A and B are shown apart, each in its own frame.
Chain A
């Protein structure tokens, strides 16, 4: 890329606009959000209560040159190099393909698509266009988790035996969000799918082997609107990998009052590594106990590295193939939970190997 500024176009501001990746990207002086667009036929259920006026104000916040509901006009702009594609997963393949056909890179939130098959199709579209799909996975930039991965890749604790990870969201759902059949259809699952996507990708990255089977117990425990549409909010997965590692993942969402409990416990043949709190905080005791978080912002690191890679024309660390591996596990997990079986995860059926080149 000859320009020193990366122009970002945002498609899908109505969805998850409160924490979209373009906000992180735009904090980088080498990035400018130049255009913002909606897209046709958005299911109102997945807009989380946002109106067209909300979308316009969001665009104005970036001082973007263009705002509209025709994403094709955004794709025609030469100053858009990267599209922050914030649509629902069920639309990501269609819109992503359009981006690649227009010669744009794509930055994509999780779940990358609704299915593993779609994710692989999206990656093929990126490869054919010789452009990149960057999958936003902040856990790969969470400093203690990065350090753990480095130590394991370096053999510090020998061969991996077992990993247990608790990755639980203890806030939200976002204001204005109500679970619906439309949301469930667009995303394929609830919070085991969305929170679990991050954690499963991290486990796949850390373990560097193909997941081969999964057992899952999940249910709706907390949210009445989830229950009405049969959408899970919490569960546990036991994933077995080709190299023998057994990974137990506790994930989903709990109400804020239940408290944050996210940690990682790794066992190897020559030692152990523990990340005892993914979101450490200082506790101040007084009339009430206050917690002040002090962990760094992995989102900023992710966005900075994305810009670095794009400016240097280097391949990004996580793409749609990684997303497909995660979705293959999640699809098997949903079948497991529904049928009370151990489900086989066959990455080869998606032309995936599960290990890094």
Chain B
């Protein structure tokens, strides 16, 4: 299959584009990196030289480049919606990091742009491509668990601080649950495979160092009810800041009518490394080949563009997880659960 010619947007500083997307792109047959884009000229030039690609500092120039078939949007959250809409209008296919938008109105505009311009859109929910996620999904599809009646995803660890002065500290950014929560919510929705009908959220905050305090809370728990009756629970606890060094622990708990699955990233880690007083929990199943979830998602995206098939995290699926995250935050602010609308 002809490789998809792609531009990576937001590739001028150490971030998800430069740390995760670019290293795997270089090893993929399904995708050809043609250009990078970032407002940081010095940074984008450096990465472009490293990966042998062109570079731009203006996103509009990327959209005018006829060689570019698709854009991989890794820019700050608040730019996602407008860049997706612009790319769709320019006829470029889009893979976009989470959250796909900052609010539901932006999401609706994106959906309209994707639909009316006939492009392929995929949200970069790479957790769906993790071997463990795929293993569990496979068990569910084979009926080993029966019907899922309860699903829980949680992460507990330290809040990941942003650079000083970053807009991510501001309340308008909605905090870590909008930034990272979509990963866990999307995986939970993938397991439950039903329409969410309402969500309740509760939050609180703990930042021992006022200098790194965000304006939003760093503990969020969301309770989700699905149309098929299943109860979902997503907890993002990023308050483990004192003492430092608490190992980030992710947990999955699925209760089905036939069986229960539990997994956590520390007890069930396949490789544990103790060095200099810190502990790392590694999954050696993830290596820089097609089994890397970033590589697998880019492969999937390229295949969808070439074959016309619907991506596993298309616009409708992406809006589903976004609506849960936004609903949980709204619920916490308003003090009552939020009914989730059907469709876009």
Q: Which A residues lie at the B interface, using CB under 8 A?
A: 158, 161-162, 164, 166, 168, 215, 217-219, 221-222, 234-236, 238, 240, 244, 246, 248, 250, 254-255, 257-259, 261, 265, 267, 269-272, 276, 340-342
- The interface residues of chain B lying within 8 Å CB-to-CB of A254 are 255, 260
Q: Do residues B242 and A342 form an inter-chain contact, with CB atoms below 8 A? A: no
Which of B229, B231, B256 gathers most chain A CB within 10 Å?
B231
> Which residues from chain B contact A164 at a C-beta distance below 8 Å?
154, 221, 235
Q: Does B206 contact A161, Cβ atoms closer than 8 Å?
A: yes
Contact, CB under 8 Å: B150 / A269: no
CA of A254 to CA of B239 in the docked complex: distance in angstroms?
Answer: 32
- Chain B residues with Cβ below 8 Å from A267 are 156, 219, 237, 239-240
Contacts of A342 in B (CB 8 A): 200, 335-337
Whether the pair B198, A340 counts as a contact (CB closer than 8 A) is: yes
Q: Chain B residue with minimal CB distance to A164?
A: B235
B290 to A: closest C-beta gap in Å: 32
A271 and B206 alpha carbons, distance in the complex (Å): 12
On whether A236 and B233 interact (CB within 8 A), knowing A164-B154, A215-B202, A342-B335, the answer reads: yes
Given contacts A221-B229, A238-B221, contact A259 B337 (CB under 8 A): no
Interface residue count on the B side (C-beta < 8 Å): 38
Q: Is A248 a contact partner of B235 (Cβ separation < 8 A)?
A: yes
Report yes or no: B253 in contact with A240, Cβ–Cβ below 8 A: no
Whether, in the assembled complex, B183 has its beta carbon less than 8 Å from a beta carbon of chain A, the answer is: no
Those 8 A-B pairs whose CB atoms lie nearest each other, nearest first: A221-B149, A259-B260, A215-B200, A217-B231, A258-B260, A246-B202, A217-B225, A161-B206
Given contacts A261-B262, A272-B156, A342-B336, contact A240 B198 (CB under 8 A): no
Contact B336 A236 (CB under 8 A): no
B257 at interface, CB cutoff 8 A: yes
Task: Report Cα–Cα, A246/B237, bound state, in Å.
Answer: 11
CA distance A272 to B246 in the complex (A): 9
Q: For A162, what are the chain B residues with a Cβ–Cβ distance below 8 Å? A: 204, 219, 221, 237, 239
B223 interface hit (Cβ, 8 Å): yes
B237 contacts A234, C-beta separation under 8 Å: no
Please report the C-alpha to C-alpha distance between residue A272 and residue B243 in the assembled complex, in whole angstroms.
Answer: 10
Instruction: Tell me whether B342 is interfacial, beta carbon within 8 Å.
Output: no
B206 x A261 contact (CB < 8 A):
no
Inter-chain contact A269/B206, CB cutoff 8 Å: yes
| Chain B interface (Cβ < 8 Å from any Cβ of A) | 149-150, 152, 154, 156, 198, 200, 202-204, 206, 208, 219, 221, 223, 225, 229, 231, 233, 235, 237, 239-240, 242-243, 246, 253, 255-260, 262, 267, 335-337
Is the beta-carbon distance between A215 and B223 smaller than 8 angstroms?
A: yes
Interface contact B204-A246, CB-CB below 8 Å: yes
Q: How far is the CA of A351 from the CA of B234 in the complex (A)?
A: 35
Q: Which of B239, B246, B255, B335 has the most CB of A within 10 A?
A: B255
* A236 x B240 contact (CB < 8 A): no
List of A residues within 8 angstroms of B258 by Cβ: 257-258
Task: With A161-B219, A215-B337 given, name 5 new contacts (CB 8 A).
Answer: A158-B242, A217-B225, A222-B149, A248-B223, A341-B337
Contact status B260-A261, CB under 8 Å: yes
Q: List 30 A-B contacts (CB under 8 A).
A: A161-B206, A162-B204, A164-B154, A221-B150, A236-B223, A236-B231, A236-B233, A238-B221, A240-B202, A244-B204, A246-B204, A248-B221, A248-B223, A248-B233, A255-B257, A257-B258, A257-B259, A258-B257, A259-B260, A261-B255, A261-B262, A267-B156, A267-B240, A269-B242, A270-B242, A272-B156, A272-B246, A340-B337, A341-B337, A342-B335
Select from chain B the residue with minimum beta-carbon distance to A248: B221
Chain B neighbourhood of A234, CB < 8 A: 149-150, 231, 255
CA distance A338 to B341 in the complex (A): 20
Instruction: Collect the chain B residues with CB atoms within 8 Å of residue A269's CB.
Output: 206, 208, 239, 242
Q: Taking CB as reference atom, which chain B residue is nearest A265?
A: B156
Q: Hey, which chain A residues are within 8 Å of B150, CB to CB?
A: 221, 234, 236, 250
Chain B minimum-CB-distance residue to A168: B255
Which chain A residues lie closer than 8 Å to B203 at the CB level?
A: 246
Among B243, B259, B267, contact of A258 (Cβ-Cβ < 8 Å): B259
Q: Which B residue sits closest to A239, measured CB to CB?
A: B202
Chain B positions within 8 Å of A272 at CB level: 156, 240, 246
Other-chain contact of B257, A222, A236, A276 (Cβ < 8 Å)? A222
In the bound complex, residues from chain B placing their C-beta under 8 Å from that of A261 are 253, 255, 260, 262
Bound-state CA distance A202–B222 (Å) is: 22
The CA of A170 and the CA of B153, in the complex, are separated in Å by 21
Q: Whole-angstrom distance between the alpha carbons of A215 and B336 in the complex? A: 9
Of B149, B156, B198, B259, most A-chain CB atoms within 10 Å: B149
Q: Which residue in chain B gives the minimum CB-CB distance to A259?
A: B260
- Cβ–Cβ < 8 Å partners of B208 in chain A: 269
Least CB distance from A90 to B in Å reads 28
Q: Tell me the complex Cα distance, A300–B260, Å.
A: 30
- A237, closest chain B residue (CB): B223
A258 & B255 in contact (Cβ 8 Å cutoff): yes
- Contact partner of B243 (CB less than 8 A), chosen from A255, A271, A341, is A271
Which partner residue on chain B sits nearest A255 by CB separation? B257
B221 touches A219 (CB 8 A): no
